[in-house]
Amino acid sequence: MDEQVLKELKGIVGQENVFTELTDRITHSYDATQERHLPDVVVYAGSTAEVSSVLKLANRHLVPVLPRGAGSGFTGGSLPVQGGIVLVLTRMDRILEIDMENLTAEVEPGVVTAELQRQVERRGLFYPPDPASKEFCTMGGNVAECAGGPRCVKYGVTRDYVLGLEVVTPTGDIIKTGGRTLKNVVGYDLTRLFVGSEGTLGIVTKILVRLLPKPEAKKTMLVQFETIDGAAKSVSAIIGARIIPATLEFMDAATIACIREASSISLPEECRAVLIIEVDGDKEILDQQVEKILAVIRPFGILATRIAATDTESEEIWQVRRIVSPSLRQMGPDKFNEDIVVPRSRVPDMIRALEKISTDYNVPIVNFGHAGDGNIHVNIMVDLQANGMAEKVEKVLSEVFRTVIDLQGSISGEHGIGTAKAPFLHMELDAATISSLQRIKAAFDPNNILNPGKIFLESSPQRPAEASSR
Amino acid sequence: MSMHKSLKDFEKVIRECVKCGVCQAYCPAYLATRREGAVARGKIALAAALLDGGIGLEERLQQDIGMCLMCGSCMHKCPNTVPTHEIVGAIRREITDKQGMSLVGKGVSALLGSRVLMKTLAKSGAFLSPLLFEKIPETSGLRLRFPAPSMKGRTVPKIAFRNLFDRFPEFIEGRADKPVVGFFAGCSITYAYPEIGEAMITVLQRMGYPVFLPKAQQCCGIPALSAGNGRLVDELALANLEAFRKRDVQYIITACASCNGGIGAYRSMKVDSKDLTGKLIDFSVFLQKEGLFEELAGMEKRQDRVKVTYHDPCHLKTQGITREPRELLKALPNVDFVEMENASSCCGLGGTFSVDHYECSRAIGAKKIPGLQESGASLVATACPGCIMQLQDSINHAGLKMKAVHILDLLAAAWR
């Protein structure tokens, strides 16, 4: 890295927040994809003004900038694939305001999602999006990836809660989108454009979210089915009965086989699918809702039902869900975790297709996830050391995504495109659509310095310097 | 040949870290600094790079490897249970082997080698108390934890005039129908808090157990492990094994969570330690097993009960011992138990961590304060003397009126 750039960076954020040692570069070279790309320098920013100055500097010197929160993404969104400056935002971790009258909260990007949830819940309020990583992922990352979670079936995803943003554009301008009111139609809806933009259009420095009143109580149940079809039909029946549970999670037979030994709740061989259903709301209505659910799913081949009477019993049920990820390793050392999504009614078709692909290619595919919103976590478990496995996985992935598109679904429900899914973007979006996205990117980031090499495969190999010389 | 695993021995588990980032939610050093170099995942990345030869033991790497309390909280929540604290221990030993001891490590080896130097230091007043030198063995972890050159403002324990070994014989008779139990007291209880040890022995006597308190027992070794002094850990482990082989005991009880963790760590050494580690049991688990909780619960509740909350020592929490200490407190007739927020977050002491990183250690400790305050308790009980020291230090800095005590202090009071 250019000495002049380093000197200016130190001037902006202070010497103690600029890291150039190999150790620092290694510890900021990865995310949850397990890919590794060394940055040239790591900068911990402390304010919007600092972020703006860093971006202006990066534009002058044509250096890539990679915004980073907890580095827990699954698609490489924070990886410095072209080197440059990793700009860490964890120092900006203040909850600026919780407005009890207007039910909003304003936070900095480094606030950990679960921490915001704890703070608002103490006040009887509720911030619903609950990605599995909520205990450590940051709000900035949640906005960048439009994080989801099990509760989305009832409450929606991050974009449904973001009212407004303060954003530093790639050229260093500080802009404000949206506002404090639920209704606001002034200008283009830039808030929605930035939510889910994967850190390619701007760096979010303040986030205004809306809050809900905290549901009074919840009730959890675990239902075992003879067939995956029975479970899928039950999902449709529950929604058809006009009940929207707070969460509606499923596990397929392969998943159940993985956790059978570790599970504290007995899951016999005949059990081919499990649904975990949680309803929330006023205490009085919960028992009624549970009964209604049990009545509508009764015809679909139920083996056993467990309804949690206490928080501890509810915890025991969720523990069954939580042991899934760690249990998967036994199927193969390398995991390809794809967060595909199909219309709710097509979940059984998708599962059947996945079973066929698994058999055809002779690779284990373990499926679980958010049945309520059609978001299935497809885990292809392999050993990449095996001969020809990489090519095989490539084919399996293509086939999985092709099926998703045929069923009118989407290749990513929660994780984003990043680098991991960039090769498949064209399967879902046609050339004209991709070109529209690229023009938006170019309008915000003429020098392609902010998170280059993400989303669009076409631009991946291209360094910012080449972009500007064209 | 060292009895410890080398970094190379951990190669397989190092590759099992999938960089998911879960450790960020539980690593006390990370939560205080929010820097990736401080968190378990970062250290595993460095360990992998060391193995690949992609990096040497550069100064910043040593700093990052220093930022670990070896509390095991990360492994406890890691989906693949990668033992970062053990891997950090292995890297610290490599650093010590290749570059000599760190400041702290140097202090220890110098102490081991030279009584003259010790006396010089003592005269300069840099150490806790001159008494320490006459009362505490040179290999004790207390010396590692509180060497004191840079510990201004830290609340340190007073060294008791009569230590635990002065107060009891090596073998304390009991009922003939009861098996002999061993008591591994550890440095903190023996020298700084002998009254906790006294309470432990009194409880055991009351229950009829003959108690074996071998005076040849040494420091458990955890501070030396934390400082990367593998040779000293070897020496202590062998001495402790030898000390407890002198009598046939059914259990070896600890009342110090760190000692329980320190002795337990012999399991991952290349030495057969089953005689010790196979019998190791925390006092709260032992007392529950032996039915004491029911007896206590049967006692009439006192009018002047004290509101007490509980802090989970990392070395019990990571072994899943969270229920027993709470149930013991709930059963006590003189205690009104209340839970507190962040009960399971680390106190910040972490072996020798607080020596090298007192500021960070204090920041971690300060995170306990809101939970302590909101609990409304007047006492915070725990099961580790190290936590007691650190909690009291945090409480004093926050200007609270609370006191940190051992559960056994309260148990002894219940019978008074």
**Residues A305 and A394 both lie in one domain:** no
In this complex, the residue of A28, A72, A325 whose CB is nearest that of residue B21 is A72
Tokens of A254: 């392969």
The label of the residue with tokens 């170019």 reads A442
- The answer to whether the Cβ–Cβ distance between B21 and A30 falls below 8 Å is no
**For the residues B154-158, what does the mean pLDDT come to?**
64
- The answer to whether the Cβ–Cβ distance between B24 and A70 falls below 8 Å is yes
The pLDDT value given to residue A34? 82
Q: What is the three-state SS of A392-454?
A: HHHHHHHHHHHHHHHCCCECCCCCCCCCCCHHHHHHHCCHHHHHHHHHHHHHHCCCCCECCCC
> Which residues, 6+ apart, have CB-to-CB distance to A436 below 8 Å?
none
Contacts of B59 in chain A (CB under 8 A): 21
**Residues B307 and B196 both lie in one domain:** no
**Residues A114 and A82 both lie in one domain:** no
Q: Is A250 among the domain residues?
A: yes
Q: Is the CB of residue B249 less than 8 Å away from at least one CB of chain A?
A: no
Q: Is A274 among the domain residues?
A: yes
Total CB pairs under 8 A between chain A and B: 76
**Residues B201 and B278 both lie in one domain:** yes
Answer whether B48's CB lies under 8 Å from B25's CB: no
Q: Is B1 among the domain residues?
A: no
Tokens of A50: 């600092």
**Residues A29 and A53 both lie in one domain:** yes
Residue of A nearest to B79 (CA): A326
**Residues B281 and B343 both lie in one domain:** no
Contacts of B34 in chain A (CB under 8 A): 90-91, 93, 110
Give the end of a domain, one of A213, A236, A261.
A213
Residues in B 173-232 with any Cβ partner in A closer than 8 A:
none
The domain of A50 spans: 3-88
Q: Is the CB of residue B79 less than 8 Å away from at least one CB of chain A?
A: yes
Give the end of a domain, one of B89, B113, B145.
B145
What is the domain count for chain A?
Answer: 4
Burial of A355 (0-12, 13-18, 19+ CB in 10 A): middle
Strand order in the sheet with B181-184: B171-172, B211-212, B181-184, B251-254, B280-282
Q: Is B390 among the domain residues?
A: yes
**For the residues B57-67, what does the mean pLDDT come to?**
92
Q: Is A102 among the domain residues?
A: yes
Under the banding of pLDDT at 50, 70 and 90, the label for residue B104 is very low
Give the end of a domain, one of B246, B272, B288.
B288
Question: What whole-number distance in Å separates Cα of residue A324 and Cα of residue A337?
Answer: 13
**Residues B353 and B244 both lie in one domain:** no
Q: Is A149 among the domain residues?
A: yes
For residue A315, pLDDT beyond 50: yes
Number of C-beta neighbours around residue A22 at 10 A: 16
**Residues A337 and A305 both lie in one domain:** no
**Residues A248 and A195 both lie in one domain:** no
Answer whether A213's CB lies under 8 Å from A125's CB: yes
Question: What whole-number distance in Å separates Cα of residue B325 and Cα of residue B315?
Answer: 13
Number of C-beta neighbours around residue B107 at 10 A: 23
Question: What whole-number distance in Å separates Cα of residue A66 and Cα of residue B147?
Answer: 43
Answer whether A138's CB lies under 8 Å from A92's CB: no
Number of C-beta neighbours around residue B276 at 10 A: 23
Q: Which of B14, B35, B344 to mutate to test the interface with A (most CBs of A within 10 A)?
A: B35
pLDDT digits (tens, 9 = 90+) for A177-191: 999 998 999 999 999
Question: What whole-number distance in Å separates Cα of residue B41 and Cα of residue B45?
Answer: 6
Provide the CATH number for the domain around residue A373.
3.30.70.2740
**Residues A253 and A147 both lie in one domain:** no
ipTM of the shown complex: 0.91
The domain of B19 spans: 7-99
Contacts of A34 in chain B (CB under 8 A): 18-19
Provide the CATH number for the domain around residue B359.
3.40.50
Q: Is the CB of residue B19 less than 8 Å away from at least one CB of chain A?
A: yes
Q: Is B152 among the domain residues?
A: no
- The answer to whether the Cβ–Cβ distance between A23 and B55 falls below 8 Å is yes
The pLDDT value given to residue B135? 54
Provide the CATH number for the domain around residue A126.
3.30.465.10
The pLDDT value given to residue A462? 40
For residue A297, pLDDT beyond 90: yes
- Give counts: helices (H), strands (E), chain B: 26, 9
Greater confidence (B15 vs B158) lies with B15
Chain-centre distance for alpha carbon A10 = 33
Instruction: Give the Å distances, CA to CA, from A134 to A141, A306, A336.
Output: 11, 27, 21
Nearest-neighbour CA in chain B from A118: distance (Å): 11
Q: Is B155 among the domain residues?
A: no
For residue B108, pLDDT beyond 50: no
Q: Is B384 among the domain residues?
A: yes
Q: Is the CB of residue B58 less than 8 Å away from at least one CB of chain A?
A: yes
In this complex, the residue of B35, B60, B79 whose CB is nearest that of residue A21 is B60
What mean pLDDT value characterizes chain B? 87
Residue of A nearest to B22 (CA): A136
**Residues B311 and B251 both lie in one domain:** no
**Residues A198 and A229 both lie in one domain:** no
Give the end of a domain, one of A424, A444, A460.
A424
Return the amino acid letter for B100. G
Q: Is A253 among the domain residues?
A: yes
Tokens of B353: 């961590």
Greater confidence (B340 vs B148) lies with B340
**For the residues A446-467, what does the mean pLDDT come to?**
71
- The answer to whether the Cβ–Cβ distance between B61 and A44 falls below 8 Å is no
Q: Which of A26, A28, A31, A322 to mutate to test the interface with B (most CBs of B within 10 A)?
A: A26
Give the end of a domain, one of A71, A88, A105.
A88
Q: Is A188 among the domain residues?
A: yes
The pLDDT value given to residue B254? 98
Q: Is B2 among the domain residues?
A: no
**Residues B220 and B115 both lie in one domain:** no
What mean pLDDT value characterizes chain A? 93
Q: Is A8 among the domain residues?
A: yes
Question: What whole-number distance in Å separates Cα of residue B111 and Cα of residue B109?
Answer: 5
Residue of B nearest to A335 (CA): B18
**Residues A280 and A359 both lie in one domain:** no
**Residues B82 and B117 both lie in one domain:** no
> Which residues, 6+ apart, have CB-to-CB distance to B387 below 8 Å?
B257, B311, B313, B347, B349, B404
The mean-pLDDT minimum among A219-228, A397-406, B113-122 falls in: B113-122
Q: Is A283 among the domain residues?
A: yes
Answer whether A303's CB lies under 8 Å from A268's CB: yes
What is the domain count for chain B?
Answer: 4
**Residues A266 and A307 both lie in one domain:** yes
Nearest to A132 by CA among A117, A159, A113: A113
Give residue ranges of A with CB < 8 Å to any B CB.
Answer: 19, 21-24, 26-34, 44, 70-72, 88, 90-91, 93, 110, 112, 114, 133, 135-137, 325-326, 329, 335
The pLDDT value given to residue B415? 85
**Residues A70 and A121 both lie in one domain:** no
**Residues B70 and B173 both lie in one domain:** no
Provide the CATH number for the domain around residue A30.
3.30.43.10
